[in-house]
Structure 1
Amino acid sequence: MSSSAMATRRKRKTVEENEVPRPAKVPHRSSCCRPAITAGSAESEAEKARWDFYPIDLESARSGNHGPRPVRVYADGIFDLFHAGHARMLEQAKNIFPPEVYLIVGVCSDKLTHCMKGQTVMNEWERYEGLRNCRYVDEVVEDAPWIVTPDFLELHKIDFVAHDDIPYGAKGGIDDVYKDIKAAGKFVATQRTEGVSTSDIIARLVKNYDQFVRRNLARGYTAKELNVSFFNKTKINMQEKFDQTKKKMKDVKTMSKDLMNKGRDKSFEIINRWDERSREIIGSFLDLFGSEGALNRALIDGRTIIQRAISPPSSPTRASSAASYGSDENDGEEEQDEVVNHRDSIQVDEYSDDDLP
């Protein structure tokens, strides 16, 4: 993870840890549907003419028992590089009293801001329009004063001023520009969003100056428009090419590693297939050509048949014939003796029967 991403995560965590409780329900406001009106305009005067402005104390405002008109709350600032901290502060101010708050936001001009605080990134028109298009704002006071006076409160029919409670000093030995407002009981405090500020955003830009210069040069801005010297432009271009080459080399290395891994896996697969196939081929070969194989058995059987065909049985000899003849005579004599013996036994039986009394 890059250092900038880690820094952003830390900032987000800081904001979450300092989470300001949000209201469960934001009442319907016409300012959500159109830009906020400008103080001094016909719309602003018509809004003030709608109501009978009687004093509202802090206790009545907090309880909501202050009659039908909305509580008019004023919040002021520079609002340069309008960011999440600004939006969250205005959200608090808009919902600080029930049931409805009419939020007026004062924005200081470029001339006053440059004199009292320093250079801004955005000009006054950009800052005015940023506030006019914020959903929580009902009315914008352009060229707002640095210090809020009773006359200013009366002019804009302001009931309370909203700001964080940290003392805000000014030139001329002023310790806190809201000191008199606090003493009059017309001040309500909002909570700051820690870790988010205009100064912090500018610090990020300064820290990553080369990166943002390269970014804008790549988007078509000229070195003159960015107030970059020829030497710095050359250095930045060289650095950009170096980073691009480094990125390409890294991509090629990653691709090569992936291809090697894929090739290795494919090789293992091919080797395993060949091993299985070779075992099948060897088994088939042995079944056919082995000592107990079908081919060997066929050769042996064929050889036996051929030998029998070529070599018929041998003729009998004289000795074997005589032996055979002698055995035949003996067999005949034995048969003749058996017949004679059988006949004699019959005669004996017959004689014995006649001699019986």
Structure 2
Amino acid sequence: MDGSERTMAEGKENDENTTRSYNFNSNGRPIRVYADGIYDLFHYGHARSLEQAKKLFPNTYLLVGCCNDETTHKYKGKTVLNEEERYESLRHCRWVDEVIPDATWVITQEFLDKHQIDYVAHDSLPYADASGSAKDVYEYVKSIGKFIETKRTEGISTSDIIMRILKDYNEYVMRNLSRGYTRKQLGLSYVKEKRLRVNMGLKKLQEQVKKGQEKVGEKATSFIVPLLCLISMG
């Protein structure tokens, strides 16, 4: 089993383990579960966490809160997608019933009452409250018994995706240059652009030389082997 298969298998196991016996209304009203986050560069790890939240009860109405740019940049840092793009990504997730834009950074009783939230679902790691209101942004809901733990999907995160791009930065820049983006759009100086083009040109030349050497080697082998056979027979 390779890494991706193992991750997906672990995710399915997490889903099964997430369904728990909490008190819920027997009158048929959906249980209103709230999940929140930044959801930058929405990926399958995000989707899996929301799937777990959606499947907590037989009849769940999943509300997903997403912080706006001002709050996110203040407490967590710069995002790749802006707030409207992040909201729209969530609206297209099959598990989400309702998106709450401009979500609060720290969940309060007032927020729970306003949206009639029964439970809050998130992984159990404490999230330091950069605003200084609490040691953990989920401290209050944990204290009143309305917090339900979900499991993170290992091997994928927004930071991981950004790291992959940074690791092969030059190749991605050249990819976009070759597709018509200008150096100004990519934030490149004239010298940087020329250096990249020269380096990529040299790389292609090296690849062509290597392929040429391999072809020469194949032809030499096809000539030498029969010759050696003739010599051994003589």
Fold shared, TM-score > 0.5 on shorter chain: yes
Q: Does the 8 Å CA contact 1:14/1:194 hold for their aligned counterparts?
A: no
For 2:223 and 2:85, how far apart are their aligned partners in 1? 58
Give the CA deviation at 1:95. 0.8
Seq. identity, % = 44
Cα deviation, residue 268, structure 1: 7.3
CA distance in 2, matches of 1:116, 1:95: 30
In the alignment, which of 255, 278, 302 is matched to residue 215 of structure 2?
255
Structure 1 residue aligned with 2:59: 100
Aligned equivalent of 1:222, options 155, 163, 182? 182
Larger Cα-atom Rg: 1
Matching residue of 1:178:
138
Cα RMSD (Å) of the superposition? 2.4
Deviations 1:195-243 (A, max 9, x none): 3211122222222221211121121111110001111111101101000
Find 2:51's aligned residue among 73, 87, 91.
91
Structure with the higher fraction of residues in helix conformation: 1
The residue aligned with 1:189 is 149
TM-score normalised by structure 1 residue count: 0.58
The answer to whether 1:121 aligns with 2:80 is yes
Opposite residue 151 of structure 1, the aligned amino acid is E
Looking at structure 1, the residues matched to 139 and 217 of structure 2 have their Cα atoms a distance apart, in angstroms, of 67
* Alpha carbons 2:14, 2:151 under 8 Å: kept: no
- 1:118 deviation in Å? 1.0
Count of matched residue pairs = 226
CA deviation vs aligned residue, 1:4-34 (integer Å, no higher than 9, x gap) = xxxxx76x3773585452657xxxxxxxxxx
8 Å Cα contact 2:33-2:60 kept in structure 1: yes
Unaligned runs of 5+ in 2: none
1:124 offset after TM fit, Å? 1.0
Aligned equivalents of 1:172 and 1:124: distance in 2?
20
> What is the distance in 1 between the residues matched to 2:144 and 2:90?
28
Instruction: Flag the structure with more relative contact order, 1 or 2, with Cα contacts below 8 A and sequence separation at least 6.
Output: 2
Q: Does 1:82 align with 2:74?
A: no
2:119 is matched with which residue? 160
Q: 1:262 to 1:241 in 2, by over 3 A?
A: same
Residue 66 of structure 1 and its aligned partner are, at CA, apart by 2.7
